[in-house]
Amino acid sequence: MIDFGLRDRVILVTGAGSGIGRAVALHAATQGARIAVVDFSEADADGVVTEIKEAGGTAVALVADVRAEAEVEAAVSRCEEVLGPLDGVVACAGISRPAPAESLTLEGWSQVIDTNLTGAFLTARIAGSRLLARGGSLVVVSSVDGLGGHAGRVHYSASKFGVAGIVKSLAIEWGRRGVRVNAVAPGPVDTPLLRAIHSDEALAGGILVRTPLGRLALPADQANAILFLLSDAAAFVTGTLLPVDGGLTAGCFNDEPLS
């Protein structure tokens, strides 16, 4: 495993109870970072902290709904009380609720926008204000759906396009104050949730054929990119949206045979 030089750094990860957030928390902990595992599910957060501690790492489980300003504020404050001043933040909490645009209710729209966009902003604003006191790195998890549209996910895509605006604006505001702000844009990631939604045949015909590297991303692929952005190796990287998609968004004709 690559050593990203994160030993003894305090890193807060939202949505850390599962998926990409969990992978980030576990990978950073193996590097010696002290991890605040923030999740809506107490059981999931506790489970990740148990894994980290059993491996000899340091972590605290914190329950918060990223849509609730007071809960995010409480989680960030508790993180610093227990682990020390923040060095890095990963805003990973998000949901996807596919629905045709013509039948998407305002409630359905708001659930996704409030979690993915407002939640990312609240995390960035509240945790970022702590980073401004001493410098650090903020990484927001976006999506390839923040680079292009996706049928049945108008609300999800809108939220991820919005994340790009947050990242680029904060990079400009905070760069001279010692805080770098970036995002990763994952393509489809091999998780139980993805497998539950798509059959092997659908994945092969709809995704893998369009992915130059010919496979789904693993959560660890996303975690490695995020840890790079948190690290000093990315000291001159800010305001960027990094696709971690196996080449899915490289072009329009990814599935064309050579001729």
> Could you read off the pLDDT of 103-117 as tens digits, one per residue?
989 999 999 999 999
> Vertex 27, ends 26 and 30: CA angle to 5°?
90
pLDDT of residue 258: 57
180-204 pLDDT per residue, tens: 999 999 999 987 777 877 788 878 8
Place of tokens 């396009």: 161
What is the average pLDDT score of the chain?
A: 93
Among 4, 40, 121, 156, the one annotated catalytic: 156
Look up 228 and say whether it is catalytic.
no
Which stretches within 151-257 are classed as H helix?
Answer: 154-174, 192-197, 200-206, 219-230
- The second-level CATH assignment, the architecture, of 10-243 is 3-Layer(aba) Sandwich (3.40)
Domain-by-domain residue ranges, the chain?
10-243
List, in order, residues 6 or more apart from 62 with CB less than 8 Å away: 36, 37, 38, 39, 45, 75, 78, 79
pLDDT digits (tens, 9 = 90+) for 7-35: 999 999 999 999 999 999 999 999 999 99
Query: Taking the model in full, what pTM does it have?
Result: 0.94
pLDDT grade for 99, boundaries at 50, 70 and 90: confident
